[in-house]
Structure 1
Amino acid sequence: MKPMITLDSDTMLFNDKGFKEAIAGRNLDIVFDALSECIENRFIFVDYIPEKLSRWSRDAVEYFGLPGIRMKDSGHLFANYVAEDERELYLEMIDALERGETTTLDYIMKVRNAQGIYQTTGCKAKLISADDGSPLFFVGSIRNYERPDTIDPVTGLYSRNNLMATIKQYLGEKQPFAVSEAGIRNYFDFNSMYGFDEGNKLLKKIAEWLQSRKLKGTFFRGDGTKFVYVVKEDEHTTGEMHEFFDEFKRFLKNDVVVDGMHAELDVCGGAMHVTDMTLDASTIYNSVQYAMAQAKNENRMELLVYNDEMQAKSREHLSSLNKIRNSIVEGCRGFYLVYQPIVSAEDESVIGMEALIRYRDEKGNIVPPNSFIPWLEKDAAFYELGSFILRTAMNDAKRIISDDPDFIVNVNLAYPQLQRVDFKTDLNRIVEEENFRARNLKLELTERCKLIDVDSLRNDMVFFKSSGMQTALDDFGTGYSALGLLVSLPVDQIKIDKSFIDNIQEDFPKQCLLEAITNCASRLNINCCVEGIETEEIKEYLRKNFKITSMQGYYYSKPIEIDDFIEWMKEYRASK
């Protein structure tokens, strides 16, 4: 006997009269359209399994180029849009679901859109059964992980992409406005102690409090643990911003409770009153961040407003940074790579190298990377530099791989790269154009990359691995890095930061932590590389007492250019 539900080609009609009237005909379209608008960056669908009839949101139909909002047997029809090498697995999951052998669907696959471009998508869906247990409805959503999010998934606030668009909009309207940013200073302590889930709850709690204040401006989530507020100016704005910051400071200090745990947090902030409409959005945001950095460096838990004095101090620095930025636009002029060897902890053979970016100015002076990399990582121009690094590292590594097929080159990925919608496509294109074997490339996620939502980061890493590349977490043991990442992310390697092993022979807590990390990594079949090896003594101590797989540091070689690296490697191997 069929379930007590009937459908025709245009409507779903339930026997319950009230529900039937609520969703019949045009009302169903209204419900779907409303849900689509409420659920950012997700495509929704409902399948009625007995008749194999389905209803899809209009944006899904437009994006994927589907036949229509109502389809017959859409589960199997959608297989035509799934990448060929993943299609068989997809069909197995659909068939198992229709037979009632599974009640949920949770997959990540490459799916073709209406333009013929394959995009990484994630589908989550659930089976709803009738009273007799037979499969009835299949309800779910599809998320495109390569579309720029306008809503931050952790806090529910508008994202940084939306922030920059709002600043540009206000500049276009030529009406004065103010931008302020507050950064949570000791969030990492809470996050490291209680884990990522509790850390995300904390950020959500803060966002909810901000929204509850009902201010006339708009809140955004900035990078990491920073929150941004943008408001159109009037005669009260300056006083209100400072009053609100003081209120926010008291809330963070006294009133933040997550699952019964009190989090005592500090905050510093920067702000800017924008009256010059000839400025661009990046300059404005960088100025706000400069003011906040000044507050942080001076250990001032207050809101500093960007002023003429700050502008004078930062002008020379910005001029230098702009020259570096222009060098990127001009084909990455002045940039070059150096490489530091990575050796096996077992026999100290050279197994790879890490690529590191350097810059030489027009006078031939080498500019310290820590003076420009943090700034560039917040600039859109970094994306081109990242592509230059990838191409150069691949070409240099091929000179070694021709004689050593298992040699690996490690390349650091930056936050702006992972935030770009087209990065994955560009990465695969670069690998193909440079005729480079993906298995010889290891992508290191730097500290700021870990500011990305863990689910999104996991999906990025799944994509890299599916393309044949290896992945690593850099600076493990500092900042956001925690043991929880080992089970959340499908990494091939973790890299222990030098600061973590400094004085470790005399520091018992560090010894306990490193033992726990390396044992955990070993049981999960994750390689462990220790950075900062500088002496024979520390090298032997680590090899003897911990489950490490590789080492890197000045004990073997400082970072050197590729010709010098190849010569060094010949001499090193000859000495063994």
Structure 2
Amino acid sequence: MTENEQIFHDFTIDPYLFYEAIENSTDDYIYIVDMIRDISLISQNMLHDFDLPGRKVHGLVPLWGELVHEKDRQRYFDSIEKMLSGETDEHNVEYQIRNRKNEYMWVVCRGLLKRDSNGNPVFFAGVVTNLGSKGKMDYITGLFAQKECEKLITRLIESESNPGGILLLGLDDFSRINALNDHIFGNTVLRQFAQTILQFLPPNADLFRFDGDEFAIVYKNASGQELYGLYQKIHAYANRRQITDGISYFCTVSGGITMIGDDGDNYLDLIKFAASALEASKQNGKNTCTFFSPGLIKSKLRTMEITNQLQLSIMNHMEHFHMVYQPLISNDTLEVGGAEALLRWTSEVYGPVSPIEFIPVLESSGLIVPVGKWVLEQAVKTCRKWISFAPDFVMNINISYLQMLDASFLQYIRDLLAKYQLDPRHIVLELTESYFVTDMEALKNTFSQLRKEQIKIAMDDFGTGYSSLGMLAQSPADIVKIDRIFISAINREVFNYSFINAVIQLCHSVDIKVCVEGVEYPEELETIRSIHPDSIQGFYFSKPISATEFQSKYWGNR
């Protein structure tokens, strides 16, 4: 008799009480297998969390194997086979397994096989540990955390001749999802995204959770083309309406790609380079993917400098900001009926900076709210002056969804209109098309309040985002602005002409006015006028110009 056998021979306890004490003292899943009868006893939490028939299970090993992710299933069964063949008595494997929520979680399964005197298996017992509870995993998504990503990339750098690359993913405007709902809902969105992306991965790719809304895919032995192809699959999924907990939303994804070995030979550089590529995607309009290049580091430094300069400009009472105005022309009379107020900014270092570059910086830094208030006041003040020349003049003002989320937004507009004694019918607030779909539920109350104030709302850039013709009838927009992308080929592409014509007819049937943007050439104007939009905007009439130039051009010295 061994020493352990002697101890337990002298120490008699109730086996049921012993098992109950063990089960209630750990969060691990416990299993005991009678190998002769092939009957297993599993802990209550194991039955609760996984799709198993009961606490007593016939044929647990193959049933459990069916729940293991197909990428890991062979490794699981190989470990079992090694025990049954007598090669080892220990089972110690990490793998992903599907729980009752149909989500995959990473676990480590450890067990020990006991044999009789003839070497035949008689008893197998062990525990399954959720790695998310051990700090190795991200508990929100069930993915390996960043530290595990570092270990894998380091191994690839050291051992692989063709180590592959990294695809760093970032959910676009994810902070908006949290702001419009709450962090619990946001965590659910992250988990759903992670669990879905796992299904897109090839066998030689692994997904990791990084900080906030970022994920990293390490794709072993892959070319840049294969990495980009994987992003395209994810992009297609992310560009559909999603539903979580009964709430519908859109959440597109941007990507940054860096190649292990070619772009860097250590983890820190590679992640920094992937982050630079991802940031470039965000700066280039989001919902796209960028390959790393050395020039991106220079671009990132430029963005940081621009951010600092914007902050200084705001602190110095909006120094270096100015407004320009582009006319809105009546289709019937070809006379000016309004204008779109546009913000411009000049850097002391870089000179004039495009709004395409500096507006996203204002939004990402939160500076868009104070700047937006300044823009509103400049536009309202100018409009008040110009209605003395044109009594029905209307000023269109671009608004960020972040401004609409600001609690003081509605009252600020009321106060401005009162301060300058301007009737609400003279202003239109423009919001990019995508937000009419992605944030409709959250912004519905704001839209309703604006309508009560008799302030009109325009849907800008129609046709470039998520909208469909069918949703226009339910839209709170009073005006739809069709994007230049459809105008540029209106006389070459039958679809473009048909699309604009259909939008105009449908909008008019539900009392929505239409403005066509981006008209630059006489032949474009002629075609557009024939399908009767309400107003036209574009370089054919005028580029955006200063208030002084605008007044002189349309009303002379009056």
Length-normalised TM-score, structure 1: 0.51
- Distance of 2:387 and 2:474 partners within structure 1: 32
- Distance of 1:330 and 1:308 partners within structure 2: 34
State the partner residue of 1:512. Answer: 498
Are 2:169 and 1:182 aligned? yes
Give 2:548's match in structure 1, choosing from 563, 571, 574: 563
Q: Show CA shifts across 1:56-96 (max 9, x none).
A: xxxxxxxxxxxxxxxxxxxxxxxxxxxxxxxxxxxxxxxxx
Cα 1:411/1:241, change in 2 over 3 Å = farther
Q: CA deviation at 1:538?
A: 1.6
Q: CA deviation at 1:507?
A: 1.0
Q: Show CA shifts across 1:368-395 (max 9, x none).
A: 2222122222221111110010000111
Cα 1:503/1:409, change in 2 over 3 Å = same
- Distance of 1:219 and 1:461 partners within structure 2: 34
Give 1:421's match in structure 2, choosing from 407, 421, 424: 407
Report the 3-state secondary structure (helix = DSSP H, G, I; strand = E; otherwise coil) of the residue aligned with 2:491: helix
Q: How many residues align?
A: 348
- Distance of 1:324 and 1:432 partners within structure 2: 30
Cα 1:357/1:345, change in 2 over 3 Å = same
State the partner residue of 2:537. Answer: 552
Larger relative contact order, structure 1 or 2 (CA cutoff 8 Å, min sep 6): 1
1:28-39 matches, within 5 Å, as none
Q: CA deviation at 1:453?
A: 2.1
**Is the 8 Å Cα contact of residues 533 and 554 (structure 1) preserved in structure 2?**
yes
**Is the 8 Å Cα contact of residues 235 and 287 (structure 2) preserved in structure 1?**
no
Amino acid of the structure 2 residue aligned with 1:333: E
**Is the 8 Å Cα contact of residues 471 and 492 (structure 1) preserved in structure 2?**
yes
Cα 1:392/1:378, change in 2 over 3 Å = same
Report the 3-state secondary structure (helix = DSSP H, G, I; strand = E; otherwise coil) of the residue aligned with 2:317: coil
Are 2:192 and 1:208 aligned? yes
- Distance of 1:322 and 1:428 partners within structure 2: 32
**Is the 8 Å Cα contact of residues 378 and 416 (structure 1) preserved in structure 2?**
no
Q: CA deviation at 1:559?
A: 0.9
State the partner residue of 1:342. Answer: 328
Q: Show CA shifts across 1:3-54 (max 9, x none).
A: xxxxxxxxxxxxxxxxxxxxxxxxxxxxxxxxxxxxxxxxxxxxxxxxxxxx
- Distance of 1:288 and 1:554 partners within structure 2: 39
- Distance of 2:423 and 2:273 partners within structure 1: 42
Length-normalised TM-score, structure 2: 0.52
Amino acid of the structure 2 residue aligned with 1:561: S
State the partner residue of 2:392. Answer: 406
Cα 1:250/1:414, change in 2 over 3 Å = closer
Q: CA deviation at 1:457?
A: 3.3
State the partner residue of 1:150. Answer: none
Amino acid of the structure 1 residue aligned with 2:194: L
Q: CA deviation at 1:554?
A: 1.5
Q: Show CA shifts across 1:75-129 (max 9, x none).
A: xxxxxxxxxxxxxxxxxxxxxxxxxxxxxxxxxxxxxxxxxxxxxxxxxxxxxxx
Give 1:368's match in structure 2, choosing from 327, 335, 354: 354
Give 1:292's match in structure 2, choosing from 263, 267, 278: 278
1:17-96 matches, within 5 Å, as none
State the partner residue of 1:316. Answer: 302
- Distance of 2:551 and 2:274 partners within structure 1: 45
Cα 1:242/1:564, change in 2 over 3 Å = farther
Report the 3-state secondary structure (helix = DSSP H, G, I; strand = E; otherwise coil) of the residue aligned with 2:425: helix
1:413-492 matches, within 5 Å, as 413-447=399-433, 449-450=435-436, 452-492=438-478
State the partner residue of 1:278. Answer: none
Amino acid of the structure 1 residue aligned with 2:447: M
State the partner residue of 2:65. Answer: none
Greater radius of gyration (CA)? 2
State the partner residue of 1:540. Answer: 526
Q: CA deviation at 1:205?
A: 8.8
Q: CA deviation at 1:570?
A: 1.8
Percentage identity across paired residues of the two chains: 27
State the partner residue of 1:353. Answer: 339
**Is the 8 Å Cα contact of residues 211 and 219 (structure 1) preserved in structure 2?**
no
- Distance of 2:360 and 2:237 partners within structure 1: 33
State the partner residue of 1:390. Answer: 376
State the partner residue of 2:53. Answer: none
Structure 1 unaligned blocks of 5 or more:
1-174, 186-202, 221-226, 230-236, 260-264, 273-285
**Is the 8 Å Cα contact of residues 476 and 482 (structure 1) preserved in structure 2?**
no
- Distance of 2:455 and 2:239 partners within structure 1: 41
**Is the 8 Å Cα contact of residues 361 and 367 (structure 1) preserved in structure 2?**
yes
Cα 1:534/1:406, change in 2 over 3 Å = same
- Distance of 2:463 and 2:238 partners within structure 1: 26
CA-based RMSD of the aligned residues comes to 4.7
Report the 3-state secondary structure (helix = DSSP H, G, I; strand = E; otherwise coil) of the residue aligned with 1:505: coil
Are 2:511 and 1:494 aligned? no
